[in-house]
Amino acid sequence: MAIIRPNSQAGIGMTSLRTRERMLVRLREQGIKDEVVLSAISTIPRHIFVDEALSIRAYEDVSLPIGYGQTISQPYIVARMSEILRNGQPLQKVLEIGTGCGYQTAVLSRLAKEVYSVERIRPLVMKARGHLRELKCINVKLDHADGNMGLPQIAPFDAIIVTAAASHIPQDLLEQLAIGGRLVIPVGTDEQILFLVERISQSDYRQTKLEPVKFVPLLGGVS
């Protein structure tokens, strides 16, 4: 398998730059304006993050299954959440809740100085590590843990992104935001809304409802 995989990816690789360019055109048409985010996305080959049977669909604007009941988010959502998180400013220390296959993590690695990512499903942690190693994302640290708890030992973070839908905004994550920091999180069960939470002071936060989204649920525990 290790021998034939590069050959099977080669045909995709020959067209991936072109398909990524078309994806960027589509993202701009969908309203993504941050050229730093678009540039970061252009450097990440999305097809390596999905099963080979799905690689032909890797650059479509759809979420795709990655196993264990999880999905890789559609390119628009990755770009949109990254743009909101960045807010036109360089990112320093970022926490991602829900590594999944590592695609959003890889994009963040191009946008931030340090990325800490938490995933509750061990086989996905192992998959993501392989992908991130292949792309030489050396500024990323992965942790197999319950994302609801965040990483208090490493906080505060100037940005936190959650890639699964929570029933409510976890207090632990709010407390791990630096003052002036931004949290982007989908909230809801049947109907989900993307929220931006900004920490104004030690005790004050500002919440903004952004747009309807659809994510897998944020679960507790590890597996």
State the catalytic residues.
73
b/e sequence 99-112, b meaning 16+ C-beta within 10 Å: bbbbbbbbbbbbbb
- Of 162, 85, 172, give the one whose Cα is nearest residue 119: 162
d(CA 30, CA 201) in angstroms, rounded, equals: 33
Give the chain's length.
223
Contact criterion met (CB below 8 Å) for 55 and 12:
yes
Question: What's the rounded Cα separation, in Å, for the pair 43 and 32?
Answer: 16
Nearest CA to 96 out of 34, 157, 174, 170 is that of 157
